Copies of this chain bind each other. A is one copy, B any other.
């Protein structure tokens, strides 16, 4: 498949692109960096500014893309322009192109505001508000075949290949496991129009996703 990864230079984006290339997909990665991120014939790179107008974003997206990942994030530096409005404009641009499949990396409890006084989330309130309205737009206002993957705290540790999904606690994630879950979602059509959370756990990724 031909896949657009928005935010290819991020911590999850880097792992995700590597796994998609390993699966023989063609990947177009977006980043604001000049340097080519991956040395692979199946990889191309795009300097996509998601703070630009929606039509300018749409112009840079090729029509024959099969699926789009949104794994970009401002790291708290520009949550309104990137995590909220930038994200929604990519959804609208993708819709304009007639592309259907859109996989969003989000954050645990992004749609459940009753959990926002949990320690660790309360400090990230502005980020949470932005992810909330972006996810909400994707679910209620887009026509996309979305999946929203809500990760907990991202940790630079070895992946285990095992996760727990839709648990009531936030938990932590090895970044490699989040990337592997995002990759697995692409081949699992039962995840379309689904939102799920994950953290490190006991079930293999494919088994966990099959239960959705």
Contacts and interface: CB of A to CB of B under 8 A. Distances in A.
Contacts of A85: 129, 132-133
Contacts of A137: 133, 136
| Copies, count | 2
Contacts of A136: 137, 141
A55 to B, nearest CB: 8
B113 A80 contact: no
A83 to B, nearest CB: 11
A64 interface: no
A84 interface: yes
Contact of A84 (B53, B114, B117, B133): B133
B81 A125 contact: yes
A2 to B, nearest CB: 28
A126 interface: yes
Interface in A43-84: 53-54, 79-81, 84
Given A80-B126, A84-B133, A129-B84, A54 B141 contact: no
Contacts of A84: 129, 133
A130 interface: yes
A211 interface: no
Contacts of A129: 80-81, 84-85
Interface centre among A54, A80, A113, A141 (most CB of B within 10 A): A80
Interface string A117-141: 1000000011001101100110011
Interface in A96-132: 113-114, 117, 125-126, 129-130, 132
Interface of A: 53-54, 79-81, 84-85, 113-114, 117, 125-126, 129-130, 132-133, 136-137, 140-141
In the A-B complex, the 5 residue pairs with the closest CB atoms: A85-B129, A133-B133, A80-B129, A80-B126, A140-B141
9 contacts: A54-B113, A79-B80, A80-B80, A80-B126, A80-B130, A81-B126, A85-B132, A85-B133, A140-B141
